[in-house]
Each structure stands twice: as structure tokens, then as C-alpha cells.
Amino acid sequence: MSLVIRKSTVDILCAAKWFARRDCRALSSVPEKADIVEEVKERVPGRKPRAHNPLLEYRHVYPEFLPDPNPKWRNSLREKMERADMLKRRSQIDIPEFYVGSIVAVTISDPHAQGKTNRFVGICIDRKGSGLRAEFILRNVIDHQGVEVRYELYDPTIQSIQVLRLEKRLDDKLYYLRDALPEYCTFPLDMDPEILPEGTPVPLNPVQVKLKPRPWLERWERQELKGVSNIEEHLKEKDRVRRELRKTPWEKYDLMKQYRKTIPAEDQSEIWNEVYNQLQQMRVSRKKMSRKRTFASPKTQLA
Amino acid sequence: MGGLWDSPVPWTPSASRSIGLTKKPGVPSSSFGGRHGIVYASYRDALTRTSRNSYLSPLSPIDNITTRSHFSQPRFRPPYWYLPKERVMSDELLTQENKDFLNEVKQDKLIQQSALVSPLAKNEPQELVQWNPSTRRVGLIARKIGNYPLWSKDGKKFQTTLLQIVDNHVIKYIPPEEFKPMKTSKVVWKEKRKLGCLLVGSETIDPSTVTKEYCGLFNSVGMLPKKHLCRFMVSPHAALPTGTPLFATHFRVGDHVDIRAKTIDRGFQGVMKRWGFKGMPASHGVTKTHRRPGNIGAGGEKARVWPGTKMPGHMGNRWRTLRGVKILRINTKHNILWMLGVGIPGETGAMCYLFDTVLPLKKLNTPPPFPTHPPVEDLPIEYHDESVHLFDEPTITFEES
């Protein structure tokens, strides 16, 4: 560079970018193209980014701690008593984190069963209810017969809930598995738990399920399902027309509808502040217990 | 105040207000303190003795529980002596200093009232002596706060309703000689047992939000005004002094209670929802008649529509008593009762009145806390029935026989 020309730092940097790119391009196999220099994205003036309470993430892990948003049934004292009872139950049994789409094994004490216990393995197709009424439905195909069992999370006859495979699916409810090919719901009853390394995010299973030919139990084509692959094959022209007519594209703009279905962030923060301490302690103590158990096993083998 | 009140009936607020329901526009609230001061839906209801605290003969071994076979229309116009409770709040042009001063006065009065020691704390020995099976004792004013499930020790789930006893205090006792409720011409039964009237109030409110006449009732006994008032007919030896606080421990776990409350106001309803008519088929050629009542009378000599024919009309917002509700669990810290079942009339947040059961097989056999449970410091926080499984206990398992 023989000429010393006064240029602003920005210009020099931009120029430097060009030089750097030319150097890289010498190594890459991609043919040269005219590059567009990316501009620095400017911050939108006006709103400050709100401090995001990390405890709010608990609403996905423990959704039943949030009460029903219907204001007719809300009462803060009753919700507190309910949460206290829920925590007491959780101190007796480990209710693990699982989502719709995870494979879960539940053992209950049944007075009419052999050995007085009954174990069922299945994929969780739905999780609903709030508070002590929280329930989940497990589906499996046993001997070519689809079986669904609904369990209450806080039922004191449940001896253990074991998550065999922790994963999420593309949809919130998997009722379409009833009309899907049986291979998507069949899980062996003696399946081994698949342990994920600590700290990994919950994996999302992007599987797209194939449905059996019609008749179906519900009009799956009218529900915007992402986890189904072959709906279009089974539709007639009439169904497509009716689906277009029944669509409600204005719903996504309905803010009040969304608001009425959720608990506001301030109330949620209060709930989680009340509850997360104990939940953390329980989680930590359970991990310690499981570690102690792994240490104990070699001794018995030697003996 | 004397001129407006012709009878010495202690003023009871309008039923709907005392229940705390939000009124639907255009639907008047019913039963403004009917005869005998007990809130009846109509004078005909008073005759048929549906209220728990009616005068009952001591000679009959079983207390009569009469049911209304004839539907009676609720009367919405209040009686002549009715006075409003809520004040029209206008913008009082007070200076900030004066407003602060008033707030200070209110706070002081509130603190003074809450610092009052219950008169029962002193007297100990006399309690259990005087109770006998025909004694009537006080009830409680409770608020419905919600439902949630509980499980029994066998693993069976049942729904429970939570009732909270908020700040109940005894306001006044009127002995039977002085108690003269408003009489009408249609008195049927003869009063043989003398019962006194105990006024109980719940939820202290700001005196500046209510009228002077309403406050006057409380000022005469030295209490701050309460949001809800209820009259309980009690035996004279079950009388309590003014200012006695009432707690949830007044009832014990396993006791049965009668709950009197106003049902949910469902508005104008058709005949299928209101009376349970079956309606007509949805198809098969049925023209324009799917939820209608159909025939409303028969022919013959009396070929007319009989009075009381079931037709569409206003449903709900009526006083109903649910008998024999069992108490499963008591929390003494927040004064909450867990009741078995969800059929308690009223919405969540509505008030209800609790009495000892009148049902012969579920009545009190053993002496209860009489006349009421005194305020004790070191009570266990929770009492529960033996059949209820507490969540602290380990998982229910069944043993092989």
C-alpha cells in the first residue's frame, strides 16, 4: 500500500473484509460470485428487551402446577393448598419430566391383579388437567389390539412412573395415532430405558406418521397436524373444498383468545417462585439416590 | 332509624348480596329477608319450613325435613322495612390530610378489633356439661373456594369441595323473649321450643363503603361492619357473647353438616335444562320441535293449564339446603373445611351457611365443641378423617391375602 489515504475505520474494515474473503475464496471450491456485504442489524428503537424470568421455563416441565385459566374457578388460597398437596405427593414418588410423545412405563397397585401390581408401557398421547386432576393417556398395541390407559399423575396407587424414552413430537396431542398404522404405536413391554446424557435438551422426534385409509375417527385433515405425512392421499375433492371453507385464518390474530387460555407471566412467576425450591431439592436428592444405587450394585455382584 | 323500622327484626342484608353473586342485568335478586328474618324465597317457602332454622316441635322424635312438592315462584320485591346496605360512592371532596386521617382511624379500629381476646378464652370448665342431643348450637358462614380430588385409603378417588371460614364473629344475641320476627297472617306451626337468635357476621369491610343504617347495627355492639350476616337459631344455653370469633374447628372431622346457599343463577332456561324434559328427536321428520315442552295439559272437566305447570323460566339463584355433607379434612391455619362431594349450591367464591345436620342418622351423638371451639394456640395444622389418604403417606399397596 504505497498511498497513504485518510479513510475512516469503517471503510478500512469493509475493505479488509473484501481482502479476507478473496483469500478464503482461493481455498474454497465454490465459484466466485459478487458478494453482498452484510449490514450490521440495528436495534429497533423504543422497547427495552424485558428481563426474561428463567423460572418460566418450568411451565413446560411441570404444566400441571399452573391452574386452569378460567377465572370462574380461580382462587389463590385453594391453588396454594393444591400445590402443597402436589408437592407432598411428589416427595413420596418421583413424577418425572415427560412430554406428549415420550414412552412411559407406569406401575400401579391393583387389588385384582396377580402380585397386586400392574405395569403398562405406552406412548403418551395426551397430557391434560391441572393441579391434582392432572392426567395422561398412554397408548400401546398389544396382541394387535390398540390399548389406551388414562392415569392420574397424583393418584396414590401409582407405584412408579418411569420414562423409557424422553422425546417430544411435532404435535401437542397425538390422537391421530388411533388412525395410524400400528407400527407407530407398538412398543415392547420389556423396553429398556434410554438414558440421555445430562444437560441435553429434550430431543424432538420429527417422525411423520402414515395414516390408515379412511374412515377415520376425526377429520384429521381439518386439524393442522404436522406429524402426519399422507393425509392428502386419502382426501377427496369434496373434503378439500370443505376444509378450505372451514378454515379460520383470523384465529391467529385473536389475542384475547390466546390470553384467556394462558396464565399471565406475573402470576406464573409467583407460582414458580413458591414451588421451584422444593422441586429442585427433590430432583437433586433423587439424583444422589440414583448415584448411590449405581455404586451399591458391584458389591452385591462380588458377594 | 326507628321510624323506618317497624319491627325489631335485626336487619339482614339482601340474600344475593350476602352471597356475593354478581347480578345479571335485568334479573332482580330474590328473597330480601323474608319473614322471620330468615331469607325465604317466598312466603310460601316460609310455610313449608325448608329453612333449617324453622321452629320444630320437640315432641316429635325425628325432625321433619319437608320438601316442596309445589313449585313456588320467587318474589323479587323487597319488604317495606328493607334498607340498602351499599352506599352510593361519590367523589368526596376531602383534602388528602383528611383522607389520611380517616384511613388511620379505620386502621386503628381494625387493629383494636383483631386484638380483642375472645371471651371464651377465659371460661374453660363449663363446656361439655351443657350439651344434649336436642341442643341447637351456632353455625358458620363459609365461602366456597373450589374443588379438588382426594383419595381414600382404598385407592378410590372422590371429589371434595373446599370451604373457607373467613373472619367469623358473633355480632349479637337476642334471647327468645325479646326475639320478635316479622309475623304474617299465615303462621301454621306452634312454637314450643324457645330458641334465641344469634347473629353472626363474616368478612370485615370498610365502614365508609356501607350505609350508616347498616353500620348502626354493628356500632351498637362495638364491632366493625361485616360483609355477610346470618341468623342462627340457637338454644339459650348455647348463646355466645358479642365478639366471639368462630373457627373451622367449631366442626370436627367426620361430622355431617347442612349447607344452605343460593344456587348458580342460570338465567332464563328452557324446559329441558330446567325441568329435565326429554325433548323430541333431532331428526326422523320432527318439524321445528326439538327442545319444546310438548303438551301442557289434558282435556276433560278442568280443561285449562294448571297453575304450577312446568314451563321455561328463570332457573337458579334460589336458596337450597344440601343435607348431610361430610367433613373430611380441616386446616386450622387458614380455617378451611374439605367437604365430600361437589353438589354444594353456588359458584366458586359464593357464600354458604353451615349448620349441624338435622338428618337423624347423621346427627351429633357425641358432644361437640360447645358452645364453640375456643381460640387455642397450639392446634395441629391439619385434621383429617381416617378414610382419607394424605399425600404425605406412602403409596397405597394391596397385600396378598
The answer to whether B151 contacts A156, with C-beta atoms less than 8 Å apart, is yes
Q: What is the pLDDT of residues B216-225, one digit of tens each?
A: 889 888 899 9
* Among chain B residues, CA nearest to A109: B397
Which residues of B are less than 8 Å from A77 in CB distance? 145, 164, 334, 336
What CA–CA distance (Å, rounded) separates A116 from A132? 24
- Which of A250-264, B153-167, B187-201 has the weakest average pLDDT? B187-201
Tell me, rounded to whole angstroms, the distance of Cα A69 from its chain centroid. 20
Q: Measured between alpha carbons, how far is B181 from B199 in angstroms, rounded to an integer?
A: 13
Integer Cα distance of B14 and B31 in angstroms: 7
Q: List, for residues A161-213, the tens digit of each pLDDT value.
A: 999 999 999 999 999 999 999 999 999 999 999 999 988 999 999 999 999 99
B contact test, residue of A64, A75, A95, A152 with most B CBs within 10 A: A75
Average pLDDT of span B40-62: 39
Among B240, B258, B278, residue whose Cα is nearest residue B354: B258
Taking the Cβ of residue A131 and every Cβ of chain B, the question of whether any pair is shorter than 8 Å is answered with yes
Q: For residue B253, how many C-alpha atoms fall within 13 Å in the half-sphere facing its CB?
A: 16
Give the three cell numbers for residue A138.
Answer: 398412554
Q: Considering CB atoms only, which of A73, A109, A157 is closest to B348?
A: A73
Q: Least CB-CB distance to A92: which of B395, B398, B399?
A: B395
Of B347, B396, B400, the CB nearest to A156: B396
Q: Which member of A81, A91, A152 has the closest CB to residue B336?
A: A81
User: Among residues A2, A57, A26, which one has the least CA distance to residue A201?
Assistant: A57
Cβ B334–A159 below 8 Å, yes or no? no
- Distance CA(B43)–CA(B74), nearest Å, equals 9
Contact (CB<8Å) B349/A155:
no
In the stretch 46-105 of chain A, residues with CB closer than 8 A to chain B read 72-75, 77-79, 81-82, 85-86, 88-89, 91-93
- What is the layout of strands, in order, in the sheet containing A103-109? A145-152, A135-142, A117-128, A103-109, A158-165
Summarize chain A as % helix, strand, coil (round to 5). Answer: 45, 15, 40
Q: Inform me whether the pLDDT recorded for B75 exceeds 90.
A: no
CB contacts, 8 Å: A79 with chain B: 146
Question: Whole-prediction pTM value?
Answer: 0.78
Of A16, A21, A127, residue with least CA distance to A64: A127
| Cα A237 to Cα A176, A231, A244, A246, distances in angstroms | 22, 13, 11, 14
Nearest to B162 among A78, A89, A158 (CB): A78
Helix/strand/coil for B246? strand
Cis peptide preceding B371, ω within 30 of 0: yes
Instruction: Give B224-278 pLDDT, tens digit per residue.
Output: 999 999 999 999 988 999 999 999 999 999 999 999 999 999 999 999 999 999 9
CA pair distance A59, A70, nearest whole angstrom: 17
Determine contact, residues B207/B106, Cβ cutoff 8 Å: yes
Asked if ipTM goes beyond 0.85, one says no
Residue B395 and residue A154: Cβ atoms within 8 Å? no
In Å, how far are A5, A96, A193, A194, B373 from A165, measured between CA atoms? 65, 12, 6, 5, 55
Q: Cell for A97?
A: 419430566
Gap between the Cα atoms of A160 and A137, Å rounded: 15
What pLDDT is attached to residue B226? 93
Whether the ω angle into residue A215 lies within 30 degrees of 0, i.e. cis, is yes
Q: Give B202-239 as a DSSP string.
A: EEE--GGGB-HHHHHHHHTTT---EEEEEEEEE-GGG-
| A150 confidence band (pLDDT: 50, 70, 90) | very high
**Subunit contact A75:B393, Cβ cutoff 8 A:** no
Which pLDDT value is given to residue A246?
95
